[in-house]
């Protein structure tokens, strides 16, 4: 097992640093190009969620991202330093007429994560929230 650790301040510009890391890690373990794109988007959404909703963009609070490279899978853990979240909604959300009229233009991130990775889970406490994403290597059980 190998690990890559990235810590960023809660500034959205540094989400791009994590995304670039996801790209490199995805290539290093031989994910197919379309799976790397899925990985980058899922990680981007999780990190932005940690920055915005976990740490409320307080730059002094860090978002920690750990890429764990296993024989059968890549696991990505995204941890914020917020006060925890009671519930994370992964339900399907799409653009529709009602949302457009109501000015509800956000909230696709969690659905995209759940649809793009093989599995994901969230654990939360008063010390922060950890979102774990998993992508299995081709040929391994999901």
Partner 1 sequence: MTNEVIKREEFGDVALLHIVTTSVDAISATAIEAACINMRPITVLDFGDVAFINSAGISALLKFVVSARKSGYKLYAMNVSPHHQKIFKMVEMSRFMPTIEERDLAAYR
Residues that bind partner 1 (CB under 8 A): 12-13, 15-16, 19, 34, 37-38, 40-41, 44-45, 48, 93-96, 100, 103, 105-109, 111-112, 115
Tokens encoding 104: 């509800």
Burial code (b: 16+ CB inside 10 Å, e: under 16) for 21-37 equals: bbbebbeebebeeebbe
Q: Are 135 and 39 in contact (CB under 8 A)?
A: yes
CB of residue 14 vs partner 1: minimum separation in angstroms?
10
CB of residue 1 vs partner 1: minimum separation in angstroms?
29
Give the residue with the Cβ less far from partner 1, 15 or 75. Answer: 15
Q: Are 67 and 25 in contact (CB under 8 A)?
A: yes
Give the residue with the Cβ less far from partner 1, 34 or 89. Answer: 34
């Amino acid at each position: 097992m190998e690990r890559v650790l990235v810590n960023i301040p809660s500034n959205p510009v540094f989400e791009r640093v994590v995304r670039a890391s996801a790209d490199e890690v995805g290539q290093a373990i031989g994910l197919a190009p379309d799976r790397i794109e899925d990985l980058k988007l899922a990680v981007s959404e999780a990190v932005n969620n940690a920055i915005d909703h976990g740490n409320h963009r307080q730059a002094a609070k860090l978002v920690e991202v750990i890429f764990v490279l296993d024989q059968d899978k890549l696991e990505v853990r995204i941890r914020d330093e917020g006060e925890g979240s009671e519930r994370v909604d992964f339900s399907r959300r799409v653009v529709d007429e009602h949302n457009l009229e109501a000015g509800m233009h956000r909230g696709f991130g969690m659905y995209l994560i759940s649809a793009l990775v093989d599995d994901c889970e969230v654990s939360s406490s008063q010390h922060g929230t950890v979102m774990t994403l998993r992508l299995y290597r081709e040929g391994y059980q999901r």
